[in-house]
Amino acid sequence: MLFTTPLILKYFASYTSINVDDGGVILYDRYGKPYSLLWKQIIQPPKLESKVLFSYLTITHSQGLMSLAIKVDDKSELALKLQKIWVTHHQKELCARIIKLERLLKARYLSHGLINMIQSVLIPYRDKWLSWDIRCELSAELAQAIATLKEVTQWSEGDIAAFQEGYVRYKLTEHEVFFDTVEKLPLTTAQRRACVIQDERQLLLAGAGTGKTSVMIAKAQYLAYTRQAYAKHILMLAYGNEAAREMAQRASQYPTFPECMTFHKLGLEIIERVEGVAPNISQLAQNEREKRTFVKETIVLLCQEEQYRLSFVHYTKCSGTDIASIRRYLESAQGTRQLKTITESLGHLKCAAAMNNLLRLETRFNEVLLCIRPILAEYSLYLSNEKAIDFEDMIIKSIRYVEEKKFISPWTHFLVDEFQDISPIRAKLLKALTEQSERHHLFSVGDDWQSIYRFSGADISYTTDFTNFFGQGTVTQLDKTFRYHQALLDVSSRFICANPGQIMKRISAHNTDDIAPLVYIEESEEEQSLCSALSELNAKVQTECSVLILARYHKLLPDKRLLSKLQQQFEFLELRTMTFHGSKGKEADYSILLGLHAGTSGVPAQESSDPLIEALLPKQGNFPNAEERRLFYVALTRAKRQVYLIKPKVNPSEFLLELDY
């Protein structure tokens, strides 16, 4: 089909004629020079627009627009012919793309990354097919492909949620036998959903006793079972050595199982793979007493220089300015406490520097930093001369290797336990690893209600504001606790949720026995109060049972002599003593809480951190005693049956009064 520009426009138009056939279009300029376009280069069917005297034919191609005036008798027929030819050349590509899309949507969870990828891939097809009025006849396959294209590119949040829910339900049915048998007991619906949902960033909020470890193990096995990942590409991370060992032991019971390690072990692994040799861990890092001695001797050495000595005396309020006075001060009770603070600050300062957070401290703590920075410099020099690293270096150095791409992660799926305990420096390492590839996935399990390690750098905001730091993701919850009964769940949940900063969770108890959750014992003499609680317990239980004796501070727990005596007296009660912090992750049939008085060495703790240490730690929430409340919640939720509270006659803890309200 050849069309020419009317004579009146020939001398002004860019193109004077056009030839259209099944191969494409050829436009000729006023000098007769041709410009050819294949139909595949033409983004949309040529448009025919009527003007006063002529019709304008516009062709949209990959480089822009071409337009020329033509005179045509039947515009509708020509427009229809042009559509048919264009559709013939483009339909195969669209149908093939939609088939691939449908296969992908059937095989994979509709994650945020997948949504973004689909939308970006389909934008050119949307512009090609949905921006003009289709008038020509379409095959059934093409009509369905266009309908799918229109639906997917116009998905609302509700549509996406409905599609995700449909996928989850389908997979729950398809893999029902797997979920029934992967652990000793069949997984709950919420646990199964946590396994099936596979977003690039996923946080599972798992309250006390909800079976988070079972989900971690099942998630790893599900990924391997459904061939979403090989076991060797899955890394399970735990906060401490004991948790990592427990997880590894449980995972090793399966034919294929992933690696399990702590963040420090991960750091060592990264450093060794980059440097080709395992790093040497400094003895100072492994022995706190030796490290404190090193700091003391370093201070004495630095004080040989007068300016530093005067700065140190001003900082510590030491009574004398000579070396002997400074040494005596460092060996005094007050000096020993100061040494502990300085030693503790070294690690926090290294992490703050790695996070670029030191500048904000310069003005407020200038005098303190003048004293501590030289100590940190000497410590770093000692490590360098020793060709050794400390625990902070394990993380800081590994971050650098990951960010510089000297280390490329062999793992594509990172499963992190006790996520509420993660520190900024660990979070930075995790983010660096997961951002190495779009194929990397993060599955984190934690409970903001049990975030109790701020003193060691844990930052609860990575849990409460998960997606703000790690990017678009999915947050779900486990909704059933198997540890304790509903009444104890109600009491403990009401207590922790008095802080509006904690994430609200809908949890029910598997055990609905009607049991009084709390038993109050009036405090008398320490030993007598504990004996009274144990005697009441001993008379109540029919069989052997376990009892956790808990206190905020170790010094308030019965010593070995008393514990041995009580164990002999109540031989059917298995007694263990722990601090509130030490009881995290533990459980027993009953628990007894001691030291529930207000004030010094009481609950909540009144001791304040050194101002510099406090500034180096993550920010606290605005709610009073937020972390102490979480710690008390941990203590309340160790017992399966009942919690015995030793209540002081005078000056009881405000937490006790709140429970008794």
3-state secondary structure (DSSP) of residue 138: coil
| Edge-first strand listing for the sheet containing 201-205 | 259-262, 234-238, 413-416, 441-446, 201-205, 474-477
Spell out a b/e string for 621-651, using b for 16 or more CB atoms within 10 Å of the CB, else e: beeebbbbbbbbbbbbbbbbbbbbbbbbeee
Cα–Cα distance measured from residue 430 to residue 262, given in angstroms and rounded to the nearest whole number: 12
The residue among 240, 249, 243, 199 whose CA lies nearest residue 219 is: 199
Cα–Cα distance measured from residue 459 to residue 579, given in angstroms and rounded to the nearest whole number: 21
Phi, psi of 204 (to 5 degrees): -110, 115
Cα–Cα distance measured from residue 310 to residue 316, given in angstroms and rounded to the nearest whole number: 10
Cα–Cα distance measured from residue 225 to residue 229, given in angstroms and rounded to the nearest whole number: 8
| Residue 501 annotated in ligand binding | no
3-state secondary structure (DSSP) of residue 416: strand
| Residue 335 annotated in ligand binding | no
Contact 352, 360 (CB under 8 A): no
Whether residue 604 is preceded by a cis peptide bond, meaning omega within 30 degrees of 0, is yes
Cα–Cα distance measured from residue 133 to residue 82, given in angstroms and rounded to the nearest whole number: 13
SS3 string of 48-86?
Answer: EEECCCCEEEEEEECCEEEEEEECCCCHHHHHHHHHHHH
| Residue 256 annotated in ligand binding | no
Residues in the chain: 661
| Residue 208 annotated in ligand binding | yes
| Residue 206 annotated in ligand binding | yes
| Residue 209 annotated in ligand binding | yes
Question: Which residues, other chains included, contact 406 with Cβ-Cβ below 8 Å and sequence gap of 6+?
Answer: 274
Question: Which residues, other chains included, contact 36 with Cβ-Cβ below 8 Å and sequence gap of 6+?
Answer: 24, 25, 26
β-strand pairing of 15-21 with 2-4: antiparallel
Cα 256–chain centre separation: 25
Residue 293: is it exposed, middle or buried by C-beta count within 10 angstroms (0-12/13-18/19+)? Answer: middle
Contact 399, 428 (CB under 8 A): yes
Residue stretches of the annotated binding site? 206-213
Residue stretches of the annotated binding site for ATP? 206-213
